[in-house]
Amino acid sequence: MGKIHVLDHPLIQHKLSLIRDKETGSKEFRELVEELALLMAYEVTRDLPLKEVEIETPVAKAKAKVISGKKLGIIPILRAGLGMVDGMLKLIPAAKVGHIGLYRDPETLEPVEYYCKLPYDVEERELIVIDPMLATGGSASAAIDFIKQRGAKSIKLMCLIAAPEGIERVRRDHQDVDIYVAAVDKCLNEHGYIVPGLGDAGDRLFGTK
Ligand code: PRP
Ligand code: URA
């Protein structure tokens, strides 16, 4: 069963509170989401394997550690996941970025796919699927299905806020996927919004609606 990591670093919690506030406008919201993604990327990459190499400092030869192993891939779920890409790329600039376009049908709450473009070598990469919100879990679960169908073998999911229902759904559908979140909220409301959550992440990022 995939592990749940709740990232309770004070900087993450502080910035999360700022984006929850309905008075926070799009410009600040966007900056904070980027910063949160960067801080969370630090934790999500904590278990990357290292190897020892020989280097020469200005003073002496030394053994030093560098990241080894698989290459990374970041997969934002459009639209709102886009807001997290630049923050992650600041820490892992060599990562390739794939995109999955999904929107949640407001009546059925089922995800509808409209775009999918992934790095050609997803099967060789450690992939991090990113989306600010994990509500029913339908979008994240479908996105993970798509990338598994294209051969992906190593996948993590990183979201800012999750509902217990979404965590349960992804854990049930994808037992091999670890989930990283900054908060697990109380529940979903009758429209499938996370309570208390932060409202519609895509609309708040892009100033729509
Ligand atoms: C939001 C969010 C997730 C999805 C979560 O996207 O960014 O992708 O809802 O809900 P779920 O867990 O119940 O599937 P939305 O469908 O509003 O699309 P958008 O990013 O284009 O605004
Ligand atoms: N999508 C959002 O943007 N917010 C929610 O609370 C749930 C789904």
pLDDT 10s per residue in the chain (209 long)?
889 999 999 999 999 999 999 999 999 999 999 999 999 999 999 999 999 999 999 999 999 999 987 799 999 999 999 999 999 999 999 999 999 999 888 889 888 999 999 999 999 999 999 999 999 999 999 999 999 999 999 999 999 999 999 999 999 999 999 999 999 999 999 999 999 999 999 999 999 98
Is 131 tagged catalytic?
no
Q: Which ligand is nearest to the CA of 131?
A: 1
Check if 203 is active-site. Answer: yes
pTM, two decimal places: 0.95
Q: What is the DSSP letter of 204?
A: H
Contacts of 190 (CB under 8 A, 6+ apart): none
Could you tell me what percentage of the chain is helix, strand and coil, using 3-state DSSP and rounding each to the nearest 5?
35, 35, 35
CA of 46 relative to ligand 2 center, distance in Å: 28
45 as an active site residue: the answer is no
| Pocket of ligand 1 contains residue 197 by CB under 6 Å | no
Atom of ligand 1 minimally distant from the CA of 203: 22
| Residue 108 bears catalytic tag | yes
User: Residue 79 phi/psi, 5° resolution?
Assistant: -90, -40
Choose, from 30, 104, 125, 204, the residue flagged as catalytic. 104
Q: Answer for the pair 192, 163: CB distance below 8 angstroms, yes or no.
A: no
Closest CA to 203 of 8, 10, 25: 25
